[in-house]
Amino acid sequence: MITQAAPLRAGVIGLGVGEKLAEAVRAHPHAELRTLCDFDPAKRAEVSTRFPGVPVVADADAVLEDPAIDLVCIASHDNFHSAQTLRALAAGKHVFVEKPFVLDEAEAIQVRDALLQRPGLRLSSNLILRRCPRFLDLRRRIRAGELGRLFHLEGDYNYGRLHKILEGWRGRMANYSAVHGGGVHMADLLMWLSGERVLEVTAWGNAIASAGSGFRNLDLVMALLRFEHGAVGKLGVNFGCVYPHFHKLELYGTEGTFSNRREHALLYRSRDPAQLPEQLTGAYPGTHKGELLANFIDSLHGLASPDVSEADVFDSLSVCLAIERSVHTGQPVRVDYLWEGRP
């Protein structure tokens, strides 16, 4: 049992975005950064200069097996996430794992069952768009009724970084999924904003933008969504677009329409072309990648509730699994919520 007096001892595996997680642990008043890990010697050498006094190890076992670590932050490549999560849970550690926390349904069920066997342990994931000030403002406005009743929601993850799936580890993975890697952010965002779950999806995809590159998976997936209270939507994952990284978001309600733009968002309250939309100037993306981890640490100390619960982590993954299944079967697929009915 972690008490507020005792700092939570954390290790971080993978020091790309994981370095941001390490910064968040180091900055947290109730946490201690115990170990950093990366299997790339150049990365270890580079990052160690920024974390003087913190051991930087090559082997993830040194984190996963250290009895003096309470929390494992996993920011390794996607194909290691589920095994490292399972090992951390088996060793009695809480887990903050980058998305996607698993690659398929079988892995998700293993993680779910491991969590259910250890009710004292918590898991969260870095669904960081929940901390974007502009989207937090939008969510407050939706809750206050400013958009009326939502009836159509569109979210596109315009990755705009084709090189990352052609050249890096994403391109080398046999089963890298753009839906799990990027679409999960939009699935979570649409459900978190609307407060509605997706019941059913129908999706198509292609790999035209990466054709001839050696990338073995779809770089473009478009899914139509049916929400539980009648709204419909579209979720797009567009890894090959000639477009700077951007979360395209359009929400249509009976009283207003939200449209995200890079500099500011627009909120239309009228159908009259003479009425200019309101400019919403909240920061976008405006987040530090370690913010949700800081909140998770707070929650482990009983100082806050987690912004991203286990149910949230499994719900967004469940939508992505349905999208993947629809693309590959060519059929509409009902979402099977893997955390349904769990605490």
Ligand X SMILES: NC(=O)c1ccc[n+]([C@@H]2O[C@H](COP(=O)([O-])OP(=O)(O)OC[C@H]3O[C@@H](n4cnc5c(N)ncnc54)[C@H](O)[C@@H]3O)[C@@H](O)[C@H]2O)c1
Contact residues: ligand X, CB under 6 A: 13-17, 37-40, 43, 60, 75-78, 80, 98-99, 126, 128, 169, 181, 289
When computed from its CA atoms, the radius of gyration of the chain, rounded to whole angstroms, is: 20
Please report how close the Cβ of residue 83 comes to ligand X at its closest, in angstroms: 9
Please report how close the Cβ of residue 8 comes to ligand X at its closest, in angstroms: 20
Please report how close the Cβ of residue 331 comes to ligand X at its closest, in angstroms: 28
Q: Report the residue number, 83 or 199, with the smaller CB distance to ligand X.
A: 83
Please report how close the Cβ of residue 257 comes to ligand X at its closest, in angstroms: 27
Nearest alpha carbon to residue 73 among 96, 54, 94: 96
Strands (E), 38-188: 56-57, 71-74, 94-97, 123-125, 150-158
Nearest residue (beta carbon) to ligand X:
16
> How many alpha carbons lie under 13 Å from residue 96 in its C-beta half-sphere?
36
Q: Kindly state the helix (H) or strand (E) to which residue 34 belongs, with its residue range.
A: strand 31-37
Q: Report the residue number, 131 or 141, with the smaller CB distance to ligand X.
A: 131
SS3 319: helix
Q: Report the residue number, 98 or 315, with the smaller CB distance to ligand X.
A: 98
Tell whether the torsion through CA atoms of 298, 301, 304 and 310 is positive or negative.
positive
Q: Report the residue number, 10 or 333, with the smaller CB distance to ligand X.
A: 10
Please report how close the Cβ of residue 210 comes to ligand X at its closest, in angstroms: 18
The residues with which 13 forms a beta bridge, in sequence order, are 37, 74
How many C-beta neighbours within 10 Å does residue 154 have?
A: 18
Tokens of 304: 């806050």
Q: Report the residue number, 80 or 151, with the smaller CB distance to ligand X.
A: 80
Q: Report the residue number, 168 or 332, with the smaller CB distance to ligand X.
A: 168
Strands (E), 173-319: 198-206, 220-227, 232-238, 246-253, 257-259, 265-268, 278-280
Which residues, 6+ apart, have CB-to-CB distance to 2 below 8 Å? 8, 70, 300, 301
Q: Report the residue number, 132 or 231, with the smaller CB distance to ligand X.
A: 132
Please report how close the Cβ of residue 199 comes to ligand X at its closest, in angstroms: 26
Please report how close the Cβ of residue 338 comes to ligand X at its closest, in angstroms: 19
**Greatest distance between any 2 Cα atoms in the chain:** 65
